[in-house]
Structure 1
Amino acid sequence: MSYFYNKNLKLHYDVLGSGKPLVLIAGITCDNNHWSLMKSELSKSFQLIMPDNRGVGKSDTPECNYTVADMAADIVALLDNLNLDKVSILGHSMGGAIAQYLACYYPERVEKLIISHSFIKFRASSIMFCQHEYLLAELNASPEIRATAILPFIYSDDFIGNGANVQALINAIATTKSKQSLDSYKQQIYAISEFNSMDYIQKIKAETLVIAGEFDKLAPFQDSQEIVNKLDNAKLKIMAGAHVPMWETPEQYANLITAFLSRSVVVVEQHISQYPNPIIVNAGDVVITGREDSEWIGWVFCTNIQSNVSGWVPQQIISVLTVERGIILEDYSAVELNVLPEQQVSIERELNGWAWCCDGEQRGWLPLEKLKIAKD
């Protein structure tokens, strides 16, 4: 549990994973548990920095109204606290508004930008939805009433057409203690109501991916198209589902994000794995360590004591216990991709002459010498 300060506000954040830094900015009412179904997958490729916006989760609530600009300044203070000059940003819904402001007014801090299920100006009908949700909370409405009123606006028909999904959400509403006060919710409604980037959004120069939901009612895909039309270096991806892909389709959402942020390369030589039963280890596992690879420096031949499966493990994730024993520091899979020449893949991580790649459906290791930078 980590905290930083922006002026007199104490603000909470979590960090997970290693790799290039990616800041995840959640939407209205949401703390950083917003990312709970996809953070494990994303953290395999990136260092995730997940703040609680002011007024939600474990962060302080100001005594007066605040704006999207204020929340963007919180993110800059967080980057300063972590000594990070430049990061990629993913903002969802209200978080997308914060991300726009960051990219416009702090362009030197933004590497790549993802604006997800967001808008240039929040629609009047969407503001009314938030006000309605606020009133239900103020009236202490039952979980069933709140679910009936809220879910059709943020989930797709396919998702809420499944009774098990609806019951799970009702149970979550009933058992989860609110992490935002009514005053704070009112302040966030004010911030999102006042936001309008029409006069400055064209200042965004960072490479940008804009993501929309096909059936999103709060931020219809036309709002995302409007954003793309204003930018010189942006592309639009419309996903199946509605407003919350991190809950409806977390795996597909994570794959889309990873593909955009990763380096695209082309296979120049066929690669077929010679290890049909690759070693897989988890953080904390003890392995028997053997010889070091003479061709690929930095790889150690290990045997997983629990599974008795052997294979090559990067030296960087092994903490030496004894001469022939080591403990694994992070989850690792030695799976290799089978690829053909001219096939395009995305590099998510490079290590000791190899790259952890995604071909759009599967992930695995490939030798860097069999890859070249893809041309747009």
Structure 2
Amino acid sequence: MGTAHTRKLRPVPDSEPRLVFRTIHGYRRAFRLAGSGPALLLIHGIGDNSSTWQELIPHLARNYTVIAPDLLGHGRSDKPRADYSVAAYANGMRDLLSVLNIDKVTVLGHSLGGGVAMQFTYQFPHLVDRLILVSAGGVTKDVHPALRLMSVPVFSEALKLLRLPGAMPAIRLTGNVLSKLHGTPLRPGALLHDTSDLVRVLSALPDPTAYEAYLRTLRAVVDWRGQVVTMLDRCYLTENLPVQLIWGDHDTVIPVGHGYLAHSAMPGSRLDVFRGAGHFPFRDDPIRFLRVVEEFLTSTPPLEFEAERWRQLLISGISEAQISGAPATRMAVLDAMGADERSAT
């Protein structure tokens, strides 16, 4: 569906989201707020911030109350020495919504934010109307080799070189060159696809507090073997929840195969794969992304949470019959669920 970063949304006049600050548990939380109507919570990925949604927020705000936080340790939020696990982030989202007096929300999460969104849904199912996962982390082990290396202390120390004078301008220049190379006959496959966005994320890391928060977040979810958590063993709990999955087929950070596994493990979920898009499909093709999200929101009723049904699902657990897809995909889901190194949250 088109080439990366070539399809742009038209600006919405007088609709810039407000950057708002609230202090919760003594820490300042920043978030973008716009619109009115049913609540829509947008959760960004690791090292990123709420500005990643800047182009989409005005369009979504025409029909929804959009809340796009900077996760603790990211963007304009405080960066304390704290718990940066996905469970802690989910608690932070619950607390922010409580402060804003919002008791029901559709949760949309990208990358690490997808893992946080799934964890939020698991911890607070009574608060969730729908779930949208975009190139989500926390499905199974595979992750970009660079993230595995950065989780190892000896390699993560190399990130401190970003603080040297001239380091970031050199990286931005290299990123610009590689981004221009992408899309030409000389490019090596899809490996350069997300270069500009990854450089954008790296640009925040020279700040020492952002760097420490980034490493704490990364090590909570990734080690040298890959991702250390999986949501596949709890996907059956989304049985009655409307779920939309969105992935780019050129995603080199979290491969599109994770989207197929999640779709297979989540009864009744929808999966849209964006051809030619990478790890940031909402930036590669925002027009299609907005169309998919809005169609999902308008065509699905919000979940009516039933505590007794939830209890019965927990008692029954998952069965192989609930896993859909081709035999190879079903087997991959069962293998990932049975891996003895996975972490429970």
TM-score, structure 1 normalization: 0.60
CA distance in 2, matches of 1:43, 1:207: 21
Report how many aligned residue pairs link the two structures: 261
Q: Which residue of 2 aligns with 1:343?
A: none
CA apart distance, 1:137:
3.9
**Is residue 191 of structure 1 aligned with residue 220 of structure 2?**
yes
Which structure carries more helix by proportion? 2
**Is residue 14 of structure 1 aligned with residue 32 of structure 2?**
yes
Report the AA paired with residue 36 of structure 1.
Q
CA distance in 1, matches of 2:199, 2:249: 27
Q: Structure 1's 202 and 151: CA in aligned 2 closer, same or farther, altered over 3 A?
A: farther
Q: Structure 1's 169 and 71: CA in aligned 2 closer, same or farther, altered over 3 A?
A: closer
Contact 2:142–2:255 (Cα < 8 Å) also in 1: no
- Tell me the alpha carbon deviations over residues 26-76 of structure 1, each in whole angstroms, 9 at most, x when there is no partner: 000111001112222222222110111010112122314420000000111
Report the AA paired with residue 94 of structure 1.
L
Q: Which residue of 2 aligns with 1:348?
A: none
Contact 1:27–1:94 (Cα < 8 Å) also in 2: yes
CA distance in 1, matches of 2:54, 2:232: 32
Q: Which residue of 2 aligns with 1:36?
A: 54
CA distance in 2, matches of 1:182, 1:204: 35
CA distance in 1, matches of 2:89, 2:171: 31
CA apart distance, 1:177:
8.7
Partner of residue 250 from structure 2, selected from 208, 215, 223: 215
CA distance in 1, matches of 2:136, 2:80: 24
Larger radius of gyration: 1
**1:112-261 to 2 correspondences below 5 Å:** 112-119=130-137, 120-124=139-143, 125=145, 127-128=147-148, 131=151, 137-140=159-162, 141-145=167-171, 148=174, 157-158=182-183, 181-193=210-222, 194-205=228-239, 206-240=241-275, 241-261=277-297
Q: Which residue of 1 aligns with 2:112?
A: 94
Contact 1:215–1:242 (Cα < 8 Å) also in 2: yes
Q: Which residue of 2 aligns with 1:106?
A: 124
CA distance in 2, matches of 1:168, 1:215: 15
CA apart distance, 1:91:
0.2
Q: Larger relative contact order (C-alpha < 8 A, sep ≥ 6)?
A: 2
Contact 2:232–2:262 (Cα < 8 Å) also in 1: no
TM-score, structure 2 normalization: 0.65
Which structure carries more strand by proportion? 1
3-state SS of 1:251 partner:
helix
3-state SS of 2:33 partner:
strand
Instruction: In structure 2, list runs of 5 or more residues that go unmatched.
Output: 1-18, 188-192, 223-227, 301-345
- Tell me the alpha carbon deviations over residues 293-348 of structure 1, each in whole angstroms, 9 at most, x when there is no partner: xxxxxxxxxxxxxxxxxxxxxxxxxxxxxxxxxxxxxxxxxxxxxxxxxxxxxxxx
CA apart distance, 1:234:
0.6
CA apart distance, 1:151:
9.9
3-state SS of 2:183 partner:
helix
Contact 1:16–1:48 (Cα < 8 Å) also in 2: yes
Aligned-residue CA RMSD in angstroms?
3.6
Contact 2:35–2:65 (Cα < 8 Å) also in 1: yes
Instruction: In structure 1, list runs of 5 or more residues that go unmatched.
Output: 265-376
CA apart distance, 1:222:
0.6
- Tell me the alpha carbon deviations over residues 96-139 of structure 1, each in whole angstroms, 9 at most, x when there is no partner: 00011111121111101101101413525363265599556421
CA distance in 1, matches of 2:108, 2:20: 20
CA apart distance, 1:244:
0.8
Q: Structure 1's 26 and 129: CA in aligned 2 closer, same or farther, altered over 3 A?
A: farther
Contact 1:217–1:243 (Cα < 8 Å) also in 2: yes
